[in-house]
Structure 1
Amino acid sequence: MRIFGFQEYGGPEVVQHLDVPRPQSRAHHLLIEMRAAGINPADIKVRNGARQNKFPVKFPMAVGREAAGVVLEAPADSPFQPGQLVFGGTATGTGALAEFVLLDASQTAPIPAGLSPSQAACIPVAFGTAWDALHELNLAKGSTLLVLGAGGGVGSAAVQLAQSLDLNVVGVASSQKEEFLTNMGAKHVAYDRGDWLAQLALSSDTYAGIIDAAGGDTLRATSSLVPTGAIRSAASPALAEEYGGSGIRRRREGEIYKQLAEMMANDVIHANITHSYPLDNASLALAAVETGHARGKTVVTNV
């Protein structure tokens, strides 16, 4: 089968189209024919080798960790059947940008009517991470959440899910993403226009917590705006810990993905797909995410 992947750690130059054997069935896993896969900033870190301790890789490795498609083989004790449309997280040590993908059955959910494979493929990483962060923070209804990097995949997912929990949202992102964020109902603060930190500090808003998808100086500058411990970071977990917060404990449960898919099918949340490329042009998808300024989600399709 064909994959878009890498045989060694490194920069964009190590990723290429490769012919590899089709995955073998495993207990507690589903084999799907991939229809769509999501690309996330964490995939760049995996390719670079920055996630070796947390994300094992077996070369050659396809890029990506979330996919949607048609079930070809399913465990006898699973609720899934061949021919069914599903989405979920890839099996340990395997990737998503491939003609055929192994999904972990415990991290898989059916695609409900009205939802496309491309939309469903956006759920596991971005919306799953945002969901987990919000439930860890457990903020009171009516309080205000500060989202750093609010224009990207995790950030825009957090903006939407927070509002579904009756939270007010202030999102920090570039000035180019103002309309994108305000259309989602968030108050936008541009980090590249004026004294954005003073704007946050002098605002009448009292921030109950931070979900961080930016990291670095942005997190350092805003950490004092929330109570100690009320930071969850997808971008800089170690830095968040310095300020009393933490990374996000990913649950990766199929039941959570199922709830999120139903919310998306009912227009409570939206995938916000900005870039979509066929598998033949997967390098363009990776390049779009690697800029660090992609808006919403980027997907790769195989139809």
Structure 2
Amino acid sequence: MVKAFGFVDHGGPEQQEFLDRPVLEPGPGQLAITVRAAGVNPADWKSRQGWFGRKRELPAVMGSEAAGVVDRVGPGVTGFTPGDEVFGIAPAGAFAEQTLLNAELSAVKPGKLGFDEAATLPVAAATADDAVRDVGVGTGGTLLILGISGGVGSAAAQIARSRGIRVIGTASDAKRAHVEALGAVQIRYGDGVADRIRAAAPDGVDGILDLVGGDDARAAAVTLADRSRLVSTADPTTAAELGGRFVTRSTTPETLAALAGLVAAGELDPHITARYPLTHAAEAIALVESGHARGKLVLEVG
């Protein structure tokens, strides 16, 4: 048995607990890994709440991105061997001492990259890469990121700037220094946000990456002339209402390898602001769920 952290029913944090889980055997297209680090994302608590449906077998292990060492490979898997240091998407849950990765959504970790850094890439950075590409703002244009200070927003800002795009983003005043460290201009949330966006971008914005949804997206959308350039990772219903769309995911092992190369080269900073042992998983989830987390939170396992 291995130690894992998950939820026994859909609902609030009171449904979370530590679990004992059998060692998992890799099926076709899977890698079995000893987990060394796992990224913490809003999707983790949203899954517990039932945002994505309630079809998962319970109890369910939380977490969706992990980095570790390959123990065994499943039938049909090529390009990976036991002992490889890897990172990728963990459909069986990442908050565990051992888990499975999808080989087609995994990559070998560069030696210069820490397990903690690698664990931030499969969800947050890969989503950011897909979203910046999907919005389609060109070099010299201005991209507005709603909710810029989190893991996806921090990565998206850096990826956009590396492509010659000017970035502005909404965040609380307490996160101004973090936003400016990304090379972006901070815009305060709340009443009058559209006026503050126009002040920072007098010619308007060329695209919006929405990581918040709801009324925040509605308030900001009035600054965008071409609503087809509004892409959301948070709220597909509101995005469609505003004339935008939900992000199109297109991550491949090659994409993950390229992102890892950027981090190893010092061109992309995952902005890990806190590391927790697996025994403190509930604290990490609570901080992300509160909406007050900056950058990326990581669980260190083993």
1:77 Cα deviation from its structure 2 partner = 3.8
1:254 Cα deviation from its structure 2 partner = 1.5
The one-character-per-residue Cα deviations of 1:198-227 (angstroms, maximum 9, x if unpaired) are 121244243110001121211010112111
Q: Distance in 2 between matches of 1:251 and 1:9?
A: 29
- Residue 151 of structure 1: which of 137, 149, 152 is its match? 149
Q: Does 1:252 align with 2:262?
A: no
In the alignment, which residue of structure 2 is the partner of 1:204?
Answer: 202
Matched ranges for 1:218-237 at <5 A: 218-226=216-224, 227-237=226-236
In the alignment, which residue of structure 1 is the partner of 2:21?
Answer: 20
In the alignment, which residue of structure 1 is the partner of 2:64?
Answer: 65
Q: Secondary structure at the match of 1:96?
A: coil
In the alignment, which residue of structure 2 is the partner of 1:49?
Answer: 50
1:144–1:205 CA contact under 8 A, matched in 2: no
2:77–2:103 CA contact under 8 A, matched in 1: no
Matched ranges for 1:1-303 at <5 A: 1-52=2-53, 56-75=55-74, 77-91=77-91, 94-191=92-189, 195-202=192-199, 203-226=201-224, 227-303=226-302
Q: Secondary structure at the match of 2:183?
A: coil
Select between 15-24 and 199-208 the one with higher mean Cα deviation.
199-208
1:155–1:212 CA contact under 8 A, matched in 2: no
Q: Distance in 1 between matches of 2:252 and 2:184?
A: 28
Q: Distance in 2 between matches of 1:223 and 1:265?
A: 36
1:89–1:252 CA contact under 8 A, matched in 2: no
Q: Distance in 2 between matches of 1:178 and 1:215?
A: 21
Amino acid at match of 2:21: V
Q: Distance in 2 between matches of 1:23 and 1:9?
A: 23
Q: Distance in 2 between matches of 1:220 and 1:175?
A: 21
Amino acid at match of 1:292: G
Q: Secondary structure at the match of 1:225?
A: coil
1:36–1:117 CA contact under 8 A, matched in 2: yes
Q: Distance in 2 between matches of 1:161 and 1:215?
A: 21
2:147–2:153 CA contact under 8 A, matched in 1: yes
Q: Distance in 1 between matches of 2:140 and 2:261?
A: 24
1:151 Cα deviation from its structure 2 partner = 0.4
1:236 Cα deviation from its structure 2 partner = 1.1
Q: CA RMSD in A?
A: 1.4
Q: Distance in 1 between matches of 2:107 and 2:133?
A: 20
Q: Secondary structure at the match of 2:79?
A: coil
The one-character-per-residue Cα deviations of 1:89-144 (angstroms, maximum 9, x if unpaired) are 013xx211011010000000111121101101001111111111111122211100
The one-character-per-residue Cα deviations of 1:12-53 (angstroms, maximum 9, x if unpaired) are 011100112111221100000000001111111111111017
Q: Distance in 1 between matches of 2:251 and 2:44?
A: 16
Q: Percent identity?
A: 40
1:170 Cα deviation from its structure 2 partner = 0.5
Q: Distance in 1 between matches of 2:207 and 2:198?
A: 14
Gaps (5+ residues) in structure 2?
A: none
The one-character-per-residue Cα deviations of 1:215-259 (angstroms, maximum 9, x if unpaired) are 121101011211121111111111011111111122232211111
2:42–2:288 CA contact under 8 A, matched in 1: yes
Amino acid at match of 2:80: F
Q: Distance in 1 between matches of 2:21 and 2:133?
A: 40
2:193–2:219 CA contact under 8 A, matched in 1: no
TM-score (norm 2): 0.95
Gaps (5+ residues) in structure 1?
A: none
2:65–2:89 CA contact under 8 A, matched in 1: yes
4+ aligned runs moved over 6 Å, structure 1: none
1:145–1:168 CA contact under 8 A, matched in 2: yes
